[in-house]
Structure 1
């Protein structure tokens, strides 16, 4: 099976294209890529961003889709409205499941999405999305809501479904609580939640990329939405709770451990 990631390059290897390809590989899926921007980046922060031209983004995507039978596509850092529009113009012609990770801010605080691109994401990209995986700050930007309670999560999730997304995974890592709880909204199906132990660590660089890439890989393999999301949660929980402890800042998650532990991890689904 083949998956494709459309995202930025992370020179430190913990997030972006590099994290996506590693995740695809660990889950038994052949990874292809479309690079939207180069970053000078490490665990201490983003030190420079150099966006690719829209024409070259489109050339990369065309080259992949014209030759390879891609079963699922994910987007990560798209950087600006022009790149979003260029990607959408090509994806409109496809009928491939699309997983949108609405990457906006790096762990160190650097902005990875220009302000005018938020509207383009809402109006152009999200209506094409099979799955959208916002964390709480990203969901607040996309919906214009302050999200602090379970009711806020419900309202924000419904707002995103109303944009045309088939499934919304509201990641709860930024909320307070002994457990980490993600809420999953699927159009026409019952909402469900995934609960895991909250692991206190600063080594969470690339968790969002890794989670959305794992969903993409599982969908490429033919899993249902619910199955793909639960397995992806297992993958990222193991990656967080078995840190590599490298770098002097927000270190990367451990992409090796899922295969090493044969996917064993407790995710409570209710």
Structure 2
């Protein structure tokens, strides 16, 4: 049967983690998915050796997979970190060192979106100082993304799981994207609409979609509660995808969930049970 939407992508930082990184693109393709996204695969290294980048590039191309989203350096994910760009000192320096590396990789893959996670509030550091640093780094990131032919994405997380993260609503993330666009004049910074985080934070998803579909550059989905596969919680992926398409969003919806077992099993169930939806195509 058809999937709930024809433009679903897989997050290979959460799915197929039972496999080495370089085997995951082929596994996604074998499961019937040709579009994938990744968190920065080297959480301790913003600028890995060229051979490692070349190996990942080759794995993606040999599998026939399209890279549709890539996180900029964000520290340890999953783990205690929630981004680096607002953190003074070494982490901000690592974020800046990553910009040309990630942008060049994105350009080589035709990747249209680079996601920049803001970073947690730090004790003893004034929020306004972190915000000033964040805007400075986001301007640099937007320019790097522009050179790569990509959008820069800004994501809202949820306060229950990320209590020190300052962007926990769609309003806050979109407002920051607007500030970056005003500062650069490039217009290439957009909202990453993570439906799981928004739902976990108590947002009215229909209202967020209707209000911000036009400001959205990428969408991610996991069911809520639980951050599991579609059908394990209360969210209706097919209905949400249909609403996004009706509101004018034509991009990818990435499945960024934690599988309960082998990823291929859950994806096979999704294909077997997912209602068809005739959405837009690229």
TM interval, short-chain normalised: 0.3 to 0.5
Q: Scaled by the length of structure 2, what TM-score is found?
A: 0.44
Of the two, which has the highest radius of gyration? Answer: 2
More strand per residue: 1 or 2?
Answer: 1
